[in-house]
Structure 1
Amino acid sequence: MSEQPPTPAPKPAGVPEPEPIRFFGTSWLDRDNGYWPRRLGVSTGALVATAAAVLVLRFGVEGVALSDSGGFLNGLLTAAIAVCSLMSVRRTWKVLTEGKDQLTGWMAEDKSLGAVWLIGGAGSLAAYFARSLVEAPGEAVRRAAYERAVEQHAKRRAGRSGRPGGKRKR
C-alpha cells in the first residue's frame, strides 16, 4: 500500500492567492517545493549572465581602444558604461525591493532611456544576483502585497454582520 502525499485543504472562496514569481511560482510563500535549489540556480545563472555581459562590454571597449582613437575617447566610453551600469543597478534594486509602481522620474518606463538600460545591463544583472542572495528577487514586494490582501480579506470577513446588504432591522 503506497502512501500518497496529503492534499492541501481547499481554501475558502475569496481568499487571495499569492502572485507567482518567475522561476519560483508560488513556492516563495512557504519556501517549499524546491525553493532553495531554485534560489541557488537563479543566483548562479545571474552571476554567469553578469560575467558574460561584462565580457561583451570588455570586447567593445577593447575594440574602441584598438582603433587608436585616443585616451580621451576610451576614458569617456568607460565613464559612460560605468554611469549606465550604476543607473541600472539603482533601478533594478528599486524594482526588486519596492516594486515597479514606485519608479518615478528618470527611473520610470521611458523609451528614450532604452540604450542606457541596455548598456547598463551588466549592472542590472549584478543587482539581480545580489538580491537573489537575500531572497527570491521580488519576493519582498509580492509578500507585502499578499499580506495586505490577506489582511484586507480578514477585515472584510470580520466586518460582516451576517445580514444581507448590511441593513439594520427596524
Structure 2
Amino acid sequence: MTLSISLTVNGVRTDVAIDDPRVTLLDLLRERLHLTGTKKGCDRGQCGACTVLVDGRRINSCLALAVSHDGAEVLTIEGLASGDRLHPVQAAFIDNDGFQCGFCTPGQIMSAIGLIAEAETGDDPERIREAMSGNLCRCGAHVGIIEAVLDARNRLAEDERRTA
C-alpha cells in the first residue's frame, strides 16, 4: 500500500510516495530527500540530534511518523542560511564556540531556534539549559551552547527592533 503525502520542506512543497507507513520523518528527510544535516543519533528520541521544526515547533524527527505530518511545514538545518548569510543562531554558535565535533550542532541549532520562538526562558541561563536539556552534546560544549542561545536571542531581538 502506497501513501502519498505533501510536505513543505525548507519552503519548497514536496510530494512524496511512502511505501511503508512506519517511515519516520527523520528517515524521509535523510534517505528520500537527501537532507542529511538532520542527524540520526540514538534513534529513540533521547539525544536531540534529529531535532527539526514542524509548523514552527521543535520535535524529534526520529519519533515522528512521516505520514502523521502530511501538509506540515518542516524546517531543517539546510533551510536556515540565506545564500552565504548565516541565520543569526548559526552565527551565534560559531561566535560562541557552541560546538566541538559538530555532530549534535544541527539539532542544537534547530532546538535553539524553537526555544527562542517559544520565548519562555528570557535571558536566564538555567532556564535555557533546562529547555535545551533534550539536546545532548557528548563533547561537553554546553557552556558555549548556552552562550550562543543567549547571544542569538539578543541578535534576533535587535533584528526585530530594526525592522519594526
Q: Which has the higher contact order (CA 8 A, sep 6+)?
A: 1
TM-score of the aligned structures, taking structure 2 as reference length: 0.25
Higher helix share: 1
TM-score of the aligned structures, taking structure 1 as reference length: 0.25
